[in-house]
Chains A and B, each alone.
Chain A
Amino acid sequence: MPGVLRTAAPRPLLAAVLFTAALLGAALLVGTLSLVRPASLAADLDRFDAGERATERRAVSAEVAGPLVGRARALWRAIGLAAIGEPEVALVVDRFHGRSFHELTAHDAQGRPIALLRLDPATGALASAVRLDFRERLLSGSTDAAAATAVARRTLAALGVRQPEGAPAARAAMNGALWVVSWPRVVGGVPVDRDGTTVRIWRSGGFHSLTVSERPLAAMARRLSVEEARRRLEALLPGLLASGALADARLERLDLRWVAPNDTFAAERADAPGMVLRLAWVAEFRFTGETGERVRALAAWIDAEDGSLLGGDVIR
């Protein structure tokens, strides 16, 4: 009988298979459990954690895609791209910034992406456009700040983007390879941190990209005075800087700005900036001495309504 049993089911092989299966099963169980979050964190399931993919791409129906493709072709013609094949259309969920876009990608004859644009799904407004077909000749030429600004203005008009108020700033970036022409966003006389309209132009005068950022602002019931903000800052400082670093610190500015709250000083928050901007008193410190050998600057953002610490920033 033992011989018959071995013939029907070879024991060493069966044992090895069962052992391997058990190991795989255990690994699968542990892996699955590690992905399960407690119910208390259920509301945070969609929040972005560093190391995860920042975007998700979802298909859109032909009915939605059709009009978008027509508009995209017109926009691409405006930045010098013509005769493009059928573009790829997707709904991009930007988990990092907490917003979604219709994204259209143009490809060349070899199937390589050569341009991309993003439209607001609700309003159809152009949020960004970028050419992805860099060639070395874009670095030649002698476009100066005035010429770059003129090109930027013409580009806005061609793309149907409202000309922002005020004079733009033109700044050479990438060691002179790229001109960045920007109209920072200002609301009620207060700058909105990192928002505004930006056009980037290669040294040759060729189009690099356009970005329009206008994030929502919170309604603020009251505003702390600068004296109140200063007192709040003094109370917060011992928790932000050790005494040695404080001695090396110089308060460079304390002024109002709209900022996106972040987790710089609060690890329990999401790893991405807040979606709704809040008015803040921004205290910026610069460092010298021993501290300055490791850290150049630190900014602390104090909520202008309730005095809480909204986050901040660091230059290494």
Chain B
Amino acid sequence: MHEARWWHRLGPPVLIVSLALALAGPATALAAFQGSVYSNITAFDICDGTPNTTPEKMRKAATAAFAGLGFATGSFTRGDFTKARFLERAATDWAVYVHSHGDFYGGKPGFRVDGGKCSQPVVTSSDIGTRRTGSQRTNLVVMSTCHLGENRTANDMPTVYAIEKVKSGYDTWNGPEFYLGYVGSQWDSDAFAFETLFWDALLGGASVGASFDEALANGAFIADFDANWWGSYSYHGIPGFGQTCARCL
């Protein structure tokens, strides 16, 4: 009998377990903070005959940003961006991005889903509210649509995501939360430029509020371009209940 070494028996299982833990650890941690990115492409390409590239660019940019921030990100368009899919994920979303047609429907803020067809149903804040508890926290919500950044009493889109409609400044803290939307009707090229600069600043380490301000100052926009935010200016977009960055409050 040859001399038995400990690694003969333990080596393979230890290696397998180590590899599994190494891979599963980050995946498990990320999975705790789900991000969802939705973009309505069909409204143009099929329904209106316009081969329009912008919705896909918006989707790619938001997906890369959410993933870069650390959210376990799913990205949905065409037949995958349905009302059922959106509401199913809404219950566990920590970050949400929607690029579509937005408006107030029956007095409620909402947007049209894609679904791969032209008869596109609407998702309103009331629909989302049925899937979430009032205090269920969300980190980051970006409504890249017309109107949903307006400060009307009826605009409860931030509040269904438990983001208060207040602007907490550099010397205050309202939790790790931020809501971004547009005021009035905005051209896609402005929204794309603004979001590109916003994501870039955020991924570069700026806070969400500073990223918003940098995007406004460093872009070239039409004179009446108008975006708005609520939440914590000094939040850094990091998933979870708190944050660990050195410069955060």
Q: Which residues of A pack against B, CB within 8 Å?
A: 2-4, 6-7, 10, 12-13, 16-17, 20, 49-55, 57, 94, 96-97, 110-114, 116, 118, 128-139, 169, 171, 173-177, 180, 182, 184, 193-196, 198, 200, 208-211, 213, 215, 240-245, 260, 262-267, 271-273, 290-291, 293-299, 313-316
Give Cα A136 to B234, complex, Å.
Answer: 12
**Could you show 10 A-B contacts with beta carbons less than 8 Å apart?**
A6-B5, A50-B58, A53-B204, A132-B207, A133-B170, A175-B183, A266-B53, A273-B193, A291-B48, A297-B185
A-B residue pairs, 4 tightest by C-beta: A3-B2, A242-B49, A13-B11, A175-B151
Q: Are B52 and A241 touching (Cβ within 8 A)?
A: no
List chain A residues, Cβ under 8 A from B187.
297, 299, 313-315
**Interface of A (DSSP majority class):** mixed
Encode B22-65 as 1/0 by CB contact (under 8 A) with A.
00000000000000000010011001111111101110110110
Closest-by-CB residue of B relative to A265 is B51
Give Cα A176 to B247, complex, Å.
Answer: 30
List chain B residues, Cβ under 8 A from A49.
60
Partner of A10, one of B11, B200, B219: B11
Report B136 CB to chain A, min CB distance, Å.
26
Partner of B146, one of A116, A130, A193, A296: A296
List chain B residues, Cβ under 8 A from A176.
151
List chain A residues, Cβ under 8 A from B43.
294-295, 316
Report A30 CB to chain B, min CB distance, Å.
18
List chain B residues, Cβ under 8 A from A196.
223
B135-167 residues at the A interface, CB under 8 angstroms: 145-146, 150-151, 167
Give Cα A139 to B166, complex, Å.
Answer: 11
Give Cα A184 to B225, complex, Å.
Answer: 13
Of A20, A57, A132, most buried by chain B (CB within 10 Å of CB) is A132
Give Cα A65 to B143, complex, Å.
Answer: 40
Q: Are B51 and A194 touching (Cβ within 8 A)?
A: no
Report A264 CB to chain B, min CB distance, Å.
6
Q: Are A136 and B169 touching (Cβ within 8 A)?
A: yes
List chain A residues, Cβ under 8 A from B61.
50-51
Confirm or deny: B123 has a beta carbon within 8 angstroms of a beta carbon on chain A: no
Give Cα A138 to B171, complex, Å.
Answer: 12
List chain B residues, Cβ under 8 A from A291.
47-48
Give Cα A177 to B169, complex, Å.
Answer: 13
Q: Are B101 and A210 touching (Cβ within 8 A)?
A: no
Confirm or deny: B186 has a beta carbon within 8 angstroms of a beta carbon on chain A: yes
B104-131 residues at the A interface, CB under 8 angstroms: 112, 118, 120
Partner of A264, one of B15, B53, B199, B206: B53
Q: Are A316 and B102 touching (Cβ within 8 A)?
A: yes
Closest-by-CB residue of A relative to B191 is A316
Of B170, B171, B221, most buried by chain A (CB within 10 Å of CB) is B170
List chain A residues, Cβ under 8 A from B50.
240-242, 245, 265, 298, 314
Partner of A314, one of B15, B44, B64, B196: B44
Of B60, B216, B234, B246, most buried by chain A (CB within 10 Å of CB) is B216
Partner of A211, one of B44, B102, B120, B218: B218
